[in-house]
């Protein structure tokens, strides 16, 4: 039986976040048989039903029986089990909203037919949390050793703000990004430059500041390296700043860029490899 891989290509960029984690089945069987005391057969049927929590799937710091590894032949960090005992769990998180409603319904309908191969969890969240998840994913995807990351981070923000626009086209030839005092809002590609209205330009600086602040290049932006105070001074010119404390100001500015209110998140866990591996591992046990 050949299963169709779910297709996320119809979703606008920036609306789907991906997470991957490895799970050690030797650890899981160990927990179920030794710690809980189940017979292998019962352990097997329990494990097949087992669905990890959203925290377990998306946490950047994995805990037993989950772990992360980029190695080709990783070993379980908890029990040293070899690769054949590991299963990969891929999770996609779709941000609910007008631009994702139609492709999401189509996708969920298609995977509903796949039974327990996929699990779908709906979570109520807020725009701020969704924004930080997005920022986290963006940070991982950027290569800070290459200054092109500044362009990539700006493009990612624009994709998030205007998902219907073809940004690959706008960014073709890696334009110079400049603020334009002539524009009150929006952007314009002219020749080798991409002009951004000052508010949009400053929002791109804020995103660059936030993704790079935990990095050794901390606070690097298109406008050079900025301290929090310098960033705020710039943003005061384009955004309303009500608070006095600089950290409260930063929070307020983040809220403006992230948007406020609730958002629904749809987590889709691909359990196919997990189910396959559970079966073969059980065969080795029984």
* Interface ranges with Zn ion (CB under 5 A): 24, 26-27, 76, 78-79, 81
Measured from the CB atom, is 167 or 274 closer to Zn ion? 274
Measured from the CB atom, is 24 or 223 closer to Zn ion? 24
Min dist CB 117 to Zn ion, Å, is 24
Min dist CB 84 to Zn ion, Å, is 12
Measured from the CB atom, is 86 or 92 closer to Zn ion? 86
Measured from the CB atom, is 76 or 278 closer to Zn ion? 76
Min dist CB 25 to Zn ion, Å, is 8
Measured from the CB atom, is 79 or 190 closer to Zn ion? 79
Min dist CB 269 to Zn ion, Å, is 20
DSSP secondary structure string for all residues of the chain? ---PPP--TTSPTTSEEEEEEEEEHHHHHHIIIIIS---HHHHHHHHHH----HHHHH-SS--TTEE----SS---TTT---GGGEEEEEEEEEEPSHHHHHHHHHHHHHHHTTGGGEEEEEEEEEHHHHHHHHHHHHHHH--TTSTTHHHHHHHHHHHHH-TTS-HHHHTTT-PEEEE-TT-SSSEEEETTEEEE-HHHHHHHHHHHHHHHTTSTTTTEETTEE--HHHHHHHHHTTS----SSHHHHHHHHHHHHH--SEEEEEEEEE-HHHHHHHHHHHHHH-
Measured from the CB atom, is 81 or 130 closer to Zn ion? 81
- Measure Cα distances from 25 to 22, 60, 84, 88, 194 in Å: 10, 20, 9, 10, 50
Nearest to 104 by CA among 11, 208, 192: 11
Min dist CB 22 to Zn ion, Å, is 10
Measured from the CB atom, is 56 or 133 closer to Zn ion? 56
Min dist CB 33 to Zn ion, Å, is 13
Min dist CB 80 to Zn ion, Å, is 7
């Amino acid at each position: 039986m050949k299963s169709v891989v779910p297709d996320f290509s119809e979703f606008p960029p920036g609306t789907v976040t991906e997470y991957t984690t490895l799970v050690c089945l030797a650890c899981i069987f160990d927990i179920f048989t030794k710690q809980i005391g189940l017979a292998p057969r019962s352990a097997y049927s329990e494990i097949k039903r087992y669905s990890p929590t959203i925290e377990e799937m998306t946490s950047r710091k994995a805990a037993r029986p989950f772990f992360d590894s980029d190695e080709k032949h990783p070993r379980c960090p908890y029990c040293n089990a070899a690769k054949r005992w590991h299963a990969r769990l891929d999770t996609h998180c779709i941000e609910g909203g007008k631009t994702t409603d139609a492709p999401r319904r189509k996708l969920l309908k298609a995977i509903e037919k796949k039974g327990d191969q996929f699990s779908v969890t709906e979570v109520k969240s807020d725009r701020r949390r969704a924004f930080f998840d997005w920022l986290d994913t963006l940070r991982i995807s950027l290569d800070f050793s290459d200054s092109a990351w500044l362009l990539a981070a700006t493009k990612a923000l624009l994709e998030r703000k205007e998902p219907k626009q073809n940004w690959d086209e706008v960014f073709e030839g890696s334009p110079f990004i400049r603020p334009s005092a002539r524009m009150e809002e929006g952007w314009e590609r002219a020749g080798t430059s991409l002009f951004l209205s000052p508010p949009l330009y400053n929002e791109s600086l804020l995103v660059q500041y936030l993704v790079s602040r935990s990095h050794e290049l901390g606070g690097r932006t298109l406008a050079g390296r900025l301290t929090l105070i310098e960033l705020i001074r710039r943003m005061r010119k384009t955004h309303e700043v009500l608070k006095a404390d600089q950290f409260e100001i930063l929070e307020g500015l983040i809220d403006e860029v992230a948007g406020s209110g609730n958002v629904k998140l749809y987590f889709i866990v691909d359990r196919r490899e997990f189910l396959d591996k559970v079966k073969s591992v059980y065969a080795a046990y029984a």
